[in-house]
Amino acid sequence: MSTKPKLFSPGPVDVAPETYAAMCSPTIGHRGKDFEELYASVQPGLQEIAGTTRPVYLNTASAWGAMEGSIRNLTRKKVLNLCCGAFSDKWYDVSLRCGKEADKVQVEWGEVITPDLVRAKLAEGGFDTVTLVHNETSTGVLNPLADIVKAIREFDDIMIIVDTVSSFSAVPINVDELGIDVMLCGVQKALALPPGLSLMIVSEAALERAKELTDRGYYFDFHEFEKNHAKNNTPSTPAIPHIYGLRERVEFMLAEGMENRFARHAATNALTHEWVAKHGFKNFAPAGYESKTLTCIDNNLEIDVPGFVKAVRAKHNLLINGGYGKVKGLTFRLSNMGNETLETQQELLDALDDVIPDFL
Ligand SMILES: *Cc1c(COP(=O)(O)O)cnc(C)c1O
């Protein structure tokens, strides 16, 4: 493991040794008391972190499972996908592949979804579901969640599905106060677990909506999750090692304190922004809408990004990301999510300082 680079790419991110150790707990049967205790043990902490009284379903799939499942559970007629980057754009495609009617608000990659754009599109009528990616990991844009939710609530009978894969636990997200219907996230980004599990928080209203759909399938059926939750269990055999790891992370987060955790992310993010400015680069996201968990850097200096990424790895054994999808090479990304501190983030930036002169 020691020869593998430390991950500063925005997902998966570096996993703490304590988390790996927790994941090595002996496997237990999932239809017994031991598992029920394990399942129940993570609920109060996750509910506190998410600001919800609803259960937190543990879904053995990466985030896309939850994203596809949410569409299948909730869209009876037509979904509006808010698209501003690789993940949000793909959700539109996934909606169509689920056999749903779909339309989108599309902004340029690097731009923000505004409440006015959402309002104008919904005014066309016919939508019953909206999807939003809170923190668009491909572009480093943090969309104005509360304002967008408010705009959607001006319209009746619309389910709001929010992907918080790279923001959950790093910035405040109060699910009940916001009044969102589905909050979902994978665990390999802001939660700093290895990939393979996702969380879903589903409102009572969303459960009611799901009842109207007869083709929601089995594996991601919200009602299967709700029914099994009542028994502190999951519909099918879960990734038990992940739940041990999750329990360790929840305890870690509560011990850290959420305010401290938010402040830590803000500080490591600000430090990264200083590095960007110092070298004459620019943030890809507009001012005021920058992600707090990663920095997507506009390659305005036109450096050889693949060469830079390679050199950072070769010389310092750190993995940064050379841009995603159609902005590959035009941007590069540095993560500060998970367990990074000012000290470890500085180590990354020092390494970049060491390598960058060869590329300017
Ligand atoms: C990584 C990511 C996903 C996709 O997660 P998978 O683990 O590949 O399913 C979805 N949304 C966002 C915002 C992401 O960052």
Same structural domain for residues 245 and 274? no
Q: What is the 3-state secondary structure (H, E, C) of the chain?
A: CCCCCEECCCCCCCCCHHHHHHHCCCCCCCCCHHHHHHHHHHHHHHHHHHCCCCCCEEECCCHHHHHHHHHHHHCCCEEEEEECCHHHHHHHHHHHHCCCEEEEEECCCCCCCCHHHHHHHHCCCCCCEEEEECEECCCCEECCHHHHHHHHCCCCCCEEEEECCCCECCECCCHHHHCCCEEEEECCCCCCCCCCCEEEEECHHHHHHHHCCCCCCCCCCHHHHHHHHCCCCCCCCCCHHHHHHHHHHHHHHHHHCHHHHHHHHHHHHHHHHHHHHHCCCEECCCCCCECCCEEEEECCCCCCHHHHHHHHHHHHCEECECCCHHHECCEEEEECCCCCCHHHHHHHHHHHHHHHHHHC
Range of the domain at 26: 17-254
For residue 143 and ligand 1, the question of a CB distance below 6 A is answered with no
pLDDT value at position 332?
98
Residue 2 confidence (pLDDT):
59
Neighbours of 178 (CB within 10 A): 19
Q: Indicate whether 236 and 287 sit together in one domain.
A: no
CB 335 within 8 A of CB 294: yes
Each residue of 10-58: pLDDT tens digit?
999 999 999 999 999 999 999 999 999 999 999 999 999 999 999 999 9
pLDDT of residue 83: 98
Do residue 101 and residue 134 come from a single domain?
yes
pLDDT at 1: 46
Instruction: Flag whether 186 is in a domain.
Output: yes
- Total number of domains constituting the chain: 2
Residue 194 and residue 282 share a domain: no
Q: Please check whether residues 233 and 305 belong to one and the same domain.
A: no
Q: 226, 254, 282 — which closes off a domain?
A: 254
Name the domain boundary from 254, 276, 293. 254
Over residues 296-322, the pLDDT tens digits come to: 999 999 999 999 999 999 999 999 999
Residues 62, 196 contacting (CB under 8 angstroms): yes
User: How many Å apart are CA 1 and CA 5, to the nearest integer?
Assistant: 9
* Claim to verify: residue 327 and residue 209 sit in the same structural domain: no
**Structural domain includes residue 274:** yes
Atom of ligand 1 nearest to the CA of 166: 15
Is the CB–ligand 1 distance for residue 87 below 6 Å? yes
Residue 239 Cβ < 6 Å to ligand 1: no
The residue whose CB lies within 8 Å of the most ligand 1 atoms, and thus the one to mutate among 60, 67, 165, is: 165
189 CB near ligand 1 (under 6 Å): yes
CATH code for position 246: 3.40.640.10
Please identify, among 186, 221, 254, the residue that sits at the C-terminal boundary of a domain.
254
For residue 317, being part of any structural domain is answered with: yes
**pLDDT value for 3:** 87
- Are 269 and 290 in contact by the 8 Å Cβ rule? The answer is yes
**Which residues of the chain are under the pLDDT cut of 50?**
1
Residue 304: the pLDDT is: 98
Q: Is 279 left (phi over 0), alpha (psi -120 to 50) or beta?
A: alpha
On whether both 248 and 265 belong to a single domain, the answer is no
Tracing tokens 């938010």 back to the chain, one arrives at 262
State if residue 166 touches ligand 1 by the CB under 6 angstroms criterion: yes
Same domain, 214 and 73: yes
Nearest alpha carbon, ligand 1 atom 5? 63
Does 345 lie in the same domain as 214? Answer: no
The answer on 245 and 267 residing in a single domain is no
Identify whether 1 is part of a domain. no
Q: What is the CATH number of the domain that holds 285?
A: 3.90.1150.10
Q: Whose CA is nearest to atom 7 of ligand 1?
A: 62
Question: Is 331 inside a domain boundary?
Answer: yes
60 lines ligand 1 (CB under 6 A): no
Judge if 160 and 47 occupy the same domain. yes
* Residue 186, ligand 1, Cβ within 6 A: yes
What pTM did the predictor assign?
Answer: 0.98
